[in-house]
Chain A
Amino acid sequence: MNLKTWIGAAAPLAADPGIRRIVVGGEDWRRIAEDLAAAGGRLLALWGQDAGAGYPAVFAAYATAAGLLLAELPFEAPPGDASIYPGLQDLFPFASRMQRAVYDLYGLRSTDADTRPWLRHAPDGGYEFVRVEGDGVHEIPVGPVHAGIIEPGHFRFSVVGEKVLRLEERLGFTHKGIERRFLDFDVEQGCRLAARVCGDSAVAYSWAYCRALEDRVGVEIPRRANWLRALALELERIANHLGDLGALGNDAGFAFGLTQFSRLKEGLLRATEAAFGRRYLLDTIAPGGVCGDLPAAAGAALERELAYVAAETVALRDIYDEHAGLRDRFVGAGAVAPELAARLGLTGLAGRASGQAYDLRTDLRDAPYDELRAAKCGAETGDVAARVTLRFDEVAESCRLGRRILGDLPAGGVRTNVPPPAADSLGIGIIEGWRGPVLVALAAAAGGRIRRCHPHDPSWQNWPALEHAVIDNIVPDFPLINKSFNLAYSGHDL
């Protein structure tokens, strides 16, 4: 079967005809993946549920040229030896870790060979890393506790001298049972938890959550609220990019960059606080709209701040581009070629730096981006320099978008009432956060309770690609390469 047939066989999801859902058996589960992979489709997320959510099942969300396709594979029996489904690792390499996480959390096993636990760590902390044998090969274990104050992750390097032969990551140290915690809330409160799944992408998560909720009940979000949501998303993108650009300079020993970008970021955060009441926009987006309206004076100040950030970033970009020492560190380090990126399913910012020109803001053109017309930025070389360049480009574009929004902000209300969704209904929300597409799948139970909620971070796709990016680089370049990806721990570990 081809892509069209599958799309045709699938039923549109609630009110959003762009997302279609198909319930399949084990054989079709695999065939869909094969056909979609052949047609250039991308796996967005893979997650599971147990009998607590009605029945055990695994889900896979694909992005195709014809829209989003959600495949669902239900199991008759409770999780056990019989609950085995075909693995997708050969088609989508990063599916492996998600399948291992599904087993850890819900006991549903894939047929793929790698069955090591991923999120559920053994009590003794044991884990079988892949060993690299050879003359002069030795291992460097790093983390989960690091010399600096950063999130916990373990990195096992196999090196010869300074050259990295292999890197193996081990994550899951910040696993805190987010999916289970969602069950304690009703759909309205769930938004606040969604914003806290990954603190640096609060807007993306809360907006994706709201999309998952709103689309199915057919609520029309006020136009002004939608524009304000986009403003919040762009502010989050700019703030994160500014922080990363400074940190990238600092990691290359260029502390001047850190202080300058920290200054810019701080200025932006203060303007954000004046406009939205929060430096980081944790509880800004709520089901039905946004939590508060933007005062006109604060909006004008925010627009001035964005103009200032845009101008200063241009000046700093010249310094970064013309600094021989920085260029030497950035160019060629941690390169992921476009072909490799396509095979690994590299997504979001890192994907666009490696020629994977996907950006939901321009690809889907959901409101308000149908009116705002975001320009898609991209690069081909896939090295640290490309990811730096892309961040500069996106800061400029997001500043432009932000000013456009503030200049043409429609009048009207900013919040509308959202009726509770029907029991057993499933919604999918997907938003291009600063790191990449954030997906939230939300299943409702009777009485407006949450039956099941799965937040998916783009870091799931990109962490495995980092392992490839550092091969043949030298050990002291790893922090720089890692920072240029800047992937999430908390959002990934759930």
Chain B
Amino acid sequence: MKPIEWLTQVLEVGAALAAAPLFQGWVNQCRAWLQNRRAPSLLLPYRGLRKLLHKDAVIATNASPLFRVAPYVVFATMLTAAAVIPSMGTRLPFSTAADAIALVGLFATARMFLALAAMDIGTPFGTLGARREMMVGFLAEPALLMIVFVASLISSTTALPLISEHLATRALVLSPSLAFTAVAFTMVLLAENGRIPIDNPATHLELTMIHEAMLLEYSARHLALMELGADLKLLNYACIGFALFIPWGSATGGAGPLALAAAIPALALKLLVAGAVLALIETLSAKLRVFRAPEFLATAFLFAVLGMLVHLLLGA
């Protein structure tokens, strides 16, 4: 274990924790601009978190311990995921703990706790949101796994940092299988993070909510953790996308501190562009009817399968 690897690890997790709300703020800002609105401050998500952390938590009298534990589980899962996703460097001491398939499992764990906690109080909206979340989840997970498999087949490993390293260091080729997979991944990212066209993070209509409906009963520090968890999830997904489809710029192999230092602006640039693209997609589309979500995610799955077929049949 080299000190530089530990440094990479600490830097990655620290940066993810610190920058996740910033990324969310950037997406919101882009969205506001695209909608001809004056944008809120980039720091608004941080202020929201600070406000929530200063408040006293209100918990329903019939809440079980699960309800209190869930925010910590969700947050911790997302932080763990951030530790195994190579956002700046590919040599991560933690990465042996979970490969890409386990990563999908980590996300599933968070989802399960979130859904259970939402149903715990017994309000209709929590149950409504949890049901819809599970529907989206069970369609998105196979698509995500299939995306991971394509990348694994190309690089003959399921460890995400090694996949990323392989893709970054091989000869530059246009790979149709990865192009198909990238489309699939973008669709899964939208669905999994409660973005338009599957869910609307800005809505106040309780009957249409998915993710927000599950958080209606949370307040103060619990809500802050849930929101930070959601911010981390979006950042994590973006970083998975970078690792698979635009891996260049991160420190690979035995690279020194200089490469690591160069990886920081590279990541910032990628996030800047990704946030703007995400906002553009959200602005251009309307929200789908809930029952169109299966079609949307089936399309994502189909793209991932196409990517795999292209790779197996054509070797491209």
Residues of A within 8 A of B (CB): 138-142, 146-149, 162, 249, 251-256, 258-260, 263, 323, 325-326, 328-329, 474-479
Q: Is the CB of B35 within 8 A of A162?
A: no
Q: Select the stretch in B81-89, B201-209, B221-229, B253-261 that faces chain A.
A: B201-209
Q: Is the CB of B207 within 8 A of A478?
A: yes
Task: Say whether B216 faces chain A, with CB atoms less than 8 Å apart.
Answer: yes
Most chain-B Cβ atoms within 10 A of its Cβ — which of A148, A325, A328?
A: A325
Q: Is the CB of B283 within 8 A of A256?
A: yes
Known pairs A139-B124, A253-B285, A254-B285; list 20 more (Cβ under 8 Å): A140-B128, A142-B124, A146-B206, A147-B204, A147-B205, A147-B206, A147-B209, A249-B286, A252-B286, A253-B203, A256-B34, A256-B283, A259-B35, A325-B197, A326-B286, A328-B288, A328-B289, A328-B292, A474-B291, A475-B207
Q: Which of B156-204 contact A (CB under 8 A)?
A: 196-197, 200, 202-204
Known contacts A252-B286, A328-B292, A148 near B207 by CB under 8 Å: no
The minimal Cβ–Cβ distance linking B293 to chain A, given in whole angstroms, is: 11
Q: Which residues of B have CB within 8 Å of A162?
A: 290-291
Q: Which of B288-306 contact A (CB under 8 A)?
A: 288-292
Q: Is the CB of A253 within 8 A of B197?
A: yes
Once bound together, how far apart are the Cα atoms of A251 and B289, in whole Å?
Answer: 11
Q: Is the CB of B205 within 8 A of A251?
A: yes
Q: Which 3 A-B pairs have the closest CB atoms?
A: A253-B287, A148-B204, A325-B286
Known contacts A253-B196, A263-B36, A479 near B208 by CB under 8 Å: yes
Q: Which residues of A have CB within 8 Å of B34?
A: 256
Which single residue of chain A is at the shortest CB-CB distance from B199?
A253
Once bound together, how far apart are the Cα atoms of A255 and B200, in whole Å?
Answer: 10
Once bound together, how far apart are the Cα atoms of A255 and B285, in whole Å?
Answer: 9
Task: Say whether B37 faces chain A, with CB atoms less than 8 Å apart.
Answer: yes
Known contacts A147-B204, A251-B205, A476 near B290 by CB under 8 Å: yes
**CB contact between A329 and one of B36, B37, B204, B286 (< 8 Å): that residue:** B286
Once bound together, how far apart are the Cα atoms of A329 and B291, in whole Å?
Answer: 11
Q: Is the CB of B35 within 8 A of A476?
A: no
Once bound together, how far apart are the Cα atoms of A139 and B125, in whole Å?
Answer: 11
The minimal Cβ–Cβ distance linking A406 to chain B, given in whole angstroms, is: 29
Once bound together, how far apart are the Cα atoms of A14 and B206, in whole Å?
Answer: 51
The minimal Cβ–Cβ distance linking B80 to chain A, given in whole angstroms, is: 32
B206-244 near A? 1/0 per residue, CB < 8 Å: 111100000010000000000000000000000000000
Known contacts A259-B37, A479-B205, A479-B207, A323 near B290 by CB under 8 Å: no
Which single residue of chain B is at the shortest CB-CB distance from A148?
B204
Q: Is the CB of B290 within 8 A of A329?
A: no
Once bound together, how far apart are the Cα atoms of A256 and B196, in whole Å?
Answer: 13
Q: Is the CB of A477 within 8 A of B289?
A: yes
Q: Which residues of A have CB within 8 Å of B288?
A: 325, 328
**A–B pairs, 6, beta carbons within 8 Å:** A147-B204, A148-B204, A162-B290, A251-B208, A253-B196, A476-B290
Once bound together, how far apart are the Cα atoms of A328 and B287, in whole Å?
Answer: 10
**CB contact between B286 and one of A254, A260, A263 (< 8 Å): that residue:** A254
The minimal Cβ–Cβ distance linking B135 to chain A, given in whole angstroms, is: 9
Q: Which residues of B have CB within 8 Å of A141?
A: 124
Once bound together, how far apart are the Cα atoms of A253 and B124, in whole Å?
Answer: 22
B1-42 near A? 1/0 per residue, CB < 8 Å: 000000000000000000000000000000100111100000
Which single residue of chain A is at the shortest CB-CB distance from B206?
A147
Q: Is the CB of B290 within 8 A of A474?
A: yes
The minimal Cβ–Cβ distance linking B28 to chain A, given in whole angstroms, is: 11
Once bound together, how far apart are the Cα atoms of A249 and B290, in whole Å?
Answer: 17
Q: Is the CB of B197 within 8 A of A476?
A: no
Q: Which residues of B have CB within 8 Å of A252?
A: 286-287
Which single residue of chain B is at the shortest CB-CB distance from A149?
B204
Q: Which residues of A have CB within 8 Å of B291?
A: 162, 474
The minimal Cβ–Cβ distance linking B277 to chain A, given in whole angstroms, is: 17
**CB contact between A142 and one of B206, B216, B283, B290 (< 8 Å): that residue:** B206
The minimal Cβ–Cβ distance linking B299 to chain A, given in whole angstroms, is: 14
The minimal Cβ–Cβ distance linking B215 to chain A, given in whole angstroms, is: 11
Known contacts A252-B287, A325-B287, A142 near B292 by CB under 8 Å: no
Q: Which residues of B have CB within 8 Å of A474?
A: 289-291
Once bound together, how far apart are the Cα atoms of A258 and B200, in whole Å?
Answer: 14
Once bound together, how far apart are the Cα atoms of A147 and B204, in whole Å?
Answer: 6
Once bound together, how far apart are the Cα atoms of A338 and B255, in whole Å?
Answer: 73
Once bound together, how far apart are the Cα atoms of A162 and B36, in whole Å?
Answer: 34
Q: Which residues of B have CB within 8 Å of A478?
A: 207
Q: Is the CB of A148 within 8 A of B205?
A: yes
Once bound together, how far apart are the Cα atoms of A149 and B205, in whole Å?
Answer: 10
The minimal Cβ–Cβ distance linking A85 to chain B, given in whole angstroms, is: 39
Q: Which residues of A have CB within 8 Å of B204?
A: 146-149
Once bound together, how far apart are the Cα atoms of A141 and B208, in whole Å?
Answer: 14
The minimal Cβ–Cβ distance linking A154 to chain B, given in whole angstroms, is: 13
The minimal Cβ–Cβ distance linking A428 to chain B, given in whole angstroms, is: 39
Q: Is the CB of B200 within 8 A of A253?
A: yes
Which single residue of chain B is at the shortest CB-CB distance from A139?
B124
Once bound together, how far apart are the Cα atoms of A476 and B291, in whole Å?
Answer: 10
Q: Which residues of B have CB within 8 Å of A142?
A: 124, 206-207
Q: Which of B136-173 contact A (CB under 8 A)?
A: none
**CB contact between A476 and one of B31, B207, B285, B286 (< 8 Å): that residue:** B207
The minimal Cβ–Cβ distance linking B1 to chain A, given in whole angstroms, is: 48
Q: Which residues of A have CB within 8 Å of B124?
A: 138-142
Once bound together, how far apart are the Cα atoms of A142 and B216, in whole Å?
Answer: 13
Once bound together, how far apart are the Cα atoms of A416 and B263, in whole Å?
Answer: 79
Known contacts A251-B205, A253-B197, A253-B200, A259 near B292 by CB under 8 Å: no
Q: Is the CB of A260 within 8 A of B128?
A: no
